[in-house]
A and B are shown apart, each in its own frame.
Chain A
Amino acid sequence: MNRITGALRSPVAFSILAGVVIGALFLVGTGADPVAAYGAVIGGSLGADGIGSTLSTGTSVLGMALALAIPLRAGLINLGGDGQLVLGGIAAAVTGLYAPLPAPLTVVLALFAGMAAGAGYAALAALCENHLGVPLLVSSLLLSYPAASFASYLARYPLKEPGSSLPQTRQLPDGVALPAFGGSTVTVGLVLVALAAAAYWFADRRTAIGYEVRMTGLNSRFAAYAGIERKGLTLRLMAVSGALAGLVGSIGVLSFPYRFVDGSLTAPGHTWTGLTAALLAGAAPLGTVVASFFFAVLQVGGLSMERTTEVPRELTQVLQAIVIVFLAARLRFPRFSRFRRGREKPSAQGEFA
């Protein structure tokens, strides 16, 4: 009994429980049976029919969660994931379509092109903070919109598939694709993202840079005093973050439907789900993996819940957000000290001036 109350006292467990309970109230309110609906979520996402879909959704969610967790570990919030994601996707598509190389090399090159595009764009947001004094939160988010518009323009005009009415590029040549496992939609992309998670775990736990990042997140002023150069750290963390977002975009293009379709990379909202997962886990590497899997289950399960019980799948998005609302209210993150540096400057304005 003590262990149960102890576990409930942990903010994460409490927040998830609160989300599930409030979700059940919603379900009852709309006349649905919560047990049947939650059963459909679990059965639909972890059952034989759903697990493949959960793993392929999980690839993108985990990729974006890592992209956002890495800067978050140092107290930096990258809100430009969508822009970095689509730029990575469009860069991979262009490389896949036009690189005059054998297919396997083209795949590798496309992955790197996507990562480079994402990294470069995220670094731009870091430069805006470092040299122009625009807070990262704002610069990364605002930069995201022109990036999405630019990719949309490319997919609708210069790169548009001739004769198609859809805003999409041509299909990549034969063989320019990530190998899939068996007949499933799960590709090698999952392995790449899992490797990234392992690398993040190793860097976080075992390396000096990981220690510096965590220390900056816990107390940025102390970290500065200890000789950690903040601007350089911001730039490097954002580049890594953007590279991962770009990787997710490339994986999206190099998997079914093997082309860049305008809006299809951002429509599922993986960036925000990833941010939610990273926040839930406090950006810790293993926790981010677990939280990403949890949200992938929710998303895929939401679809099957919609089919079997007619409860709209948007409910799962509500659940996600409720979990984070409770978590944010209960936890006092020490790491967002930029916005609450003591009582004398509790606002962004202070940082900004």
Chain B
Amino acid sequence: MFFDSDLLMSALRALTPILLAALGGALCERAGVFNIGLEGMMLMGCFTSVATSWFTGSPWLGVLAAALAAAGYSLILAVGAVTLRGDAVVLGIAMNLLAVGLTGFLLRTVFGVQGTFDDPSLAGLPLVGGFSPLAYLAWAAVGVAALMLSRHGWGLRLRGVGEAPDAAATLGVSPAKYQYAAVLVSGVLCGLAGAQLALGNVTLFSENMTAGRGWIAVVAVMLGRALPLGVLLAALLFGVAEAAGFRLQGLGLPQQATDAAPYVVTLGALFLTTARRRRRIRATGATS
């Protein structure tokens, strides 16, 4: 059996970090801040969680520290893009680069190792029913985000800020306040995503261990049209591709082919959804 419950379980495990980061990206998107710094924020979360868990012996403090550190790191985007009106794309790229350099630098200065920090006494997150508690938190966050954005006043104002900042400002809603909040929440979620990656899926830190997952999360935001449920489906697609890749590797397919699978699948899904959307636009005679 190729598709069985094991595959589903590993798909769900693989999707957790993507889902957390992508929910953060979706909130930013809704608030009108293009956040491609997810990868860097996640990586900061990975390192902080591992360092804190190792020094305190508590993975929970690691999770907390990761959320705080990544939120602090996300301030770069908030200040740069919202207050100073700098370029969010360039800022995001720079944040991703900075995180790679900074975590590599800290790995060398704090632990004195290069490449990977892996210690038997490093405490990882416990598993509850096969998943780390952060996985349950991620699923709950989908529901919370969906309700917030569709029902709650705060979420509605956030969307207003993203869609028509001037109109929102006229109504007395400060766009900057909502955009800061969205970026900071995305930082917290990316920090949790990093903690899940470094203390949940595995228990180690290695340089650049996010390996493009933050970028996949950016794509998941686009695929899911910044809707929490859409983002969940997009992340699930990636999770299934990654899990199926591992399975195929067990069946003898070279690792390189399966490494590439999630990216190819994601790209393919992007093609299909955009092609369909474009056809619909053409059919209704609207100009794009």
Q: What residues make up the interface of A, taking CB atoms closer than 8 Å to B?
A: 26, 30, 77, 79, 128, 132-135, 137-139, 141-143, 145-146, 149-150, 152-153, 156-157, 272, 275-276, 279, 312, 314-318, 320-322, 324-325, 327-333, 336, 339-340, 343-344, 346-349, 352-353
Contact = CB atoms under 8 A, between A and B. Distances in A.
Determine chain B's interface SS by DSSP, over half rule.
helix
Interface residues of B, number: 57
A75 to B, nearest CB: 10
Interface in B252-286: 254, 256-257, 259-260, 263-264, 266-267, 270-271, 274-275, 277-278
B197 to A, nearest CB: 18
B257 A153 contact: yes
B98 A328 contact: no
Contact of B91 (A137, A145, A316, A329): A329
B95 A325 contact: yes
A145 B259 CA distance: 8
A352 B259 CA distance: 27
Given A134-B274, A142-B219, A145-B212, A343 B165 contact: yes
B204 to A, nearest CB: 18
A251 to B, nearest CB: 24
Given A328-B90, A344-B164, A346-B34, A142 B266 contact: yes
B274 A328 contact: no
Contacts of B264: 146
Nearest to B215: A141
A150 to B, nearest CB: 7
A340 B97 CA distance: 22
Contact of A325 (B36, B76, B270): B76
B98 A322 contact: yes
Interface string B234-256: 00000000000000000000101
B98 A321 contact: yes
A15 to B, nearest CB: 10
Given A312-B108, A328-B94, A348-B222, A132 B87 contact: no
A266 to B, nearest CB: 11
Interface in B40-58: none
B87 A346 contact: no
Which of B162, B226, B263 is packed against the most chain A CB atoms within 10 Å?
A: B263
B256 A329 contact: no
